[in-house]
Structures are given as C-alpha cells and as structure tokens.
Structure 1
C-alpha cells in the first residue's frame, strides 16, 4: 500500500501524519506540488492525504481542479481520502459543497465540540485544536458532521466511511506550528478568534489530538480496497 501526501506549500508539511506513516510501517510519498511535481496517478494511489495551504479553494488555479478530479476518482473507487484545512475544503468542494468566507478567522488553539458519530463511535466531547483558516466548507450531501465550533459549524465530516475532511489541524507539532508562524504570521489580525504568536507557541499540544488523529488514520487505512 502506498499513501500519497499532497503538500501545497513548503511550510505546511505532513508533520504528525508522517510520524504515523513511519510508526505504522506504511509506505508513503510526499508530492511537493509547490515545486511543480505532478499529482500521483489514481491507479497507483491506495490512500490520499491532502494538506493545508494559504491559497483559496475558490482561486482559479488549474491544479486545484485537477486535484479535485483526483479526489473524485479515488472516492468513486472506494479508496480512503483524508484532508486537513485546505485539503478538507478540497474534499468538500469535490463532493459538491460550498466553500465560503467565514464571519471570523480562526487562528490558534481554540475549542471544538464533537458530534455523536454512528460511524466512528464514542469521541471526546470537546477538544482544543490548532486552527488557521478564514474560509469554511459546507457539509457535503450524505456526509456526517463530526466536529463543530462556535463560529464554524462544520469543523469536520466523514463520508461513506472512507473519506474524512477536517477544517482544523490535528497533525500539528511544535515544529509545524513554528513553520507556519515564521511564514504566515500576517494572518494573525487580532480579531476575536485569533491568538498572538506567543499564545500559540506557549500552548502545550494536547496528547488527545495525536491519539485521535492516529485513530482516524487507522480507521481509513482499514477501508483500503483489497
């Protein structure tokens, strides 16, 4: 099995997702699209992961639609797809949901609430996770909402048991957060749901985030077609 990881900018890498791949012995390849690398071929991809990035899903960039077409093909083949932030929005749009500007930016360590999930079973009632977004996605038709927050109703969803899109960053490590702060700190505009760089750096990453990320990835891996 090969996991294909799509990386959109040099400062938003796979972080804890790469750690999961290594610890579980899964073969993976990071496709650095910002360097002009081609998208993976659908027939050679068993599990697709789409990372974040500062661009908008609504931008008229040809590669964004090409990426969505790959997502659609893999979903039609029953293969697992996992996306965070921009990646989650790409999945949502590929499934026909709207992408829109939220009333507030969310940036920093902020709480989300979990929904009762018939698909995933018991989840923690509340988590504090790392956010870095202004746009949001609507809930795709047929998807089950997994997470929500005060200013972003759709923080995550699961679709047909093998597709998960998240608006926030479960994959964050101290190093990955520092990379974002070094390269995109201007996003922190001092509005109600954005924190300062110091607040973000000083917040201890909850161990429950890594645990739940690994649980979600393990669940998706189990859906890889034989």
Structure 2
C-alpha cells in the first residue's frame, strides 16, 4: 500500500524483483481499493502524510486488512505511517512525538533477534508522530530523539518509524515534492542538506535482511 505519490517502495521493489515475486502497488488514498487477504502473501504498508487517527474510511479498512494478515500469520512490513497503522491495529496509541524529525540521523539497534544488523545506521526520518511499541513485540531501533523507532514481532512483523527503503532517486522525489516539511525540525537540516546527503549503501542491504527475516 502506497499512500502518497512521492513515497514509493524503493529498494523493497528491488528485493521483490530479485526474488521473482509479483508486486502489486495499491493507492487506497486515491482509489479506495485494497487487496483481499486471500490474494496477499505479504503486506507492505508505506509512509504518508496522513495519520492513523484520521477518520477516513480507507484508513480503517487498511487496518482491517492488517488484522486479517496478522491472524493468518502473513509477513507484514510497515514504514512510518505503515508502522503506526500496525501498532494502532494491535490496540496501541499513535500520538504526536516529542520532536519533529526530518532528515538523516542515526538509529541504534536495540535487539539481536535479527542477525548481522549493524549496531548503528543512518536512516531518513520524515515524521512527527510516533507509535507505542506493542507489548507482544520487541523494540528494534531507537534514535537520539525518539525511543520507539522500530519493533519486531513474532518473526513476521516489522514496523519502522523511519525509512531504509529510499534509493537516491526516491530521496530526490520525496524532497522536491515535500521539502518544505523539513522546516523547524530538531535535526536542523534543510531540504538542500537532505538532498546533498548520499543514501548509505548499507541501508539497502539491511532492508533486504529485514524482509528476508519476516519471510523466512
């Protein structure tokens, strides 16, 4: 599920192609269409400018789909809004965070459940809301400004508040369309600062590891 034109699947699409998987991209915010659970082998919920607390029909229906996937033990990956949707589906709160994080900043691994993940990585942040980590999940990542940056649950679900998936072209697309969002954020980075920072090469490799883990 993609929720805004400028936040696409990035390296998730490359991972799917490398594994010879068929990928279908839905735009529920525009068309109101979601897949049925019977035709879904894995669920990816991407980011977007909306909130899980919005009273939109498609936002609620998306959570119904997430719940059905959880009940069927289908792998789920959520980024930013997607991770918040997973937490909300499980009955946990999504609230405004202590700070607005926009730009490149380190995240720190908090669990060794997934092997061979570096202890520190530089990720793209683009958010000001945060999720509660579900009690049945493990905290996976934290940042300097926000403890709840990622969680992993039951070897099948990963939610990240930040973004590992963007490629260089994806970052450019995000920034040229939504660069004004970077104003007044705790990281102090402008749109130009974000554009001038290259995507760390390890982010793609880690994204692949996370997807491999929930599909094992």
Q: What TM-score does the superposition give when structure 1 sets the normalisation length?
A: 0.92
Deviations 1:19-72 (A, max 9, x none): 111122111111122330510000110100001001111111111111011101
CA–CA distance in structure 2, aligned partners of residues 128 and 48 of structure 1? 25
User: 3-state DSSP class of the match of 2:104?
Assistant: strand
Runs of 4+ in 1 over 3 A off after TM superposition: none
Hey, what does 1:61 align to over in structure 2? 56
| Aligned positions, number | 216
User: 3-state DSSP class of the match of 1:108?
Assistant: strand
Q: Match for 2:211 among 191, 210, 217? A: 217
State whether residues 116 and 122 of structure 1, in contact with CA within 8 Å, keep that contact through their aligned partners in structure 2: no
Q: What is the Cα deviation at residue 192 of structure 1?
A: 2.4
Q: What is the Cα deviation at residue 172 of structure 1?
A: 0.9
Hey, what does 1:152 align to over in structure 2? 146
State whether residues 144 and 158 of structure 1, in contact with CA within 8 Å, keep that contact through their aligned partners in structure 2: yes
Q: Say what the alpha-carbon RMSD is for the aligned residues.
A: 1.2
Q: 1:172 to 1:194 in 2, by over 3 A?
A: farther
Q: What is the Cα deviation at residue 180 of structure 1?
A: 1.4
Hey, what does 1:86 align to over in structure 2? 81
Q: What is the Cα deviation at residue 80 of structure 1?
A: 0.4
Q: Match for 1:191 among 161, 185, 193? A: 185
Q: What is the Cα deviation at residue 83 of structure 1?
A: 0.5
1:202 equivalent to 2:196? Answer: yes
CA–CA distance in structure 1, aligned partners of residues 34 and 178 of structure 2? 25
User: 3-state DSSP class of the match of 2:23?
Assistant: strand
Q: Match for 1:141 among 135, 140, 148? A: 135
CA–CA distance in structure 1, aligned partners of residues 105 and 34 of structure 2? 33
| Higher strand residue share | 1
State whether residues 10 and 34 of structure 1, in contact with CA within 8 Å, keep that contact through their aligned partners in structure 2: no
In the alignment, structure 2 segments of 5+ residues that lack a partner are: none
Hey, what does 2:162 align to over in structure 1? 168
Q: What TM-score does the superposition give when structure 2 sets the normalisation length?
A: 0.96
1:26 equivalent to 2:21? Answer: yes
CA–CA distance in structure 1, aligned partners of residues 48 and 30 of structure 2? 14
In the alignment, structure 1 segments of 5+ residues that lack a partner are: 1-5
Hey, what does 2:122 align to over in structure 1? 128
Q: Match for 1:108 among 103, 107, 118? A: 103
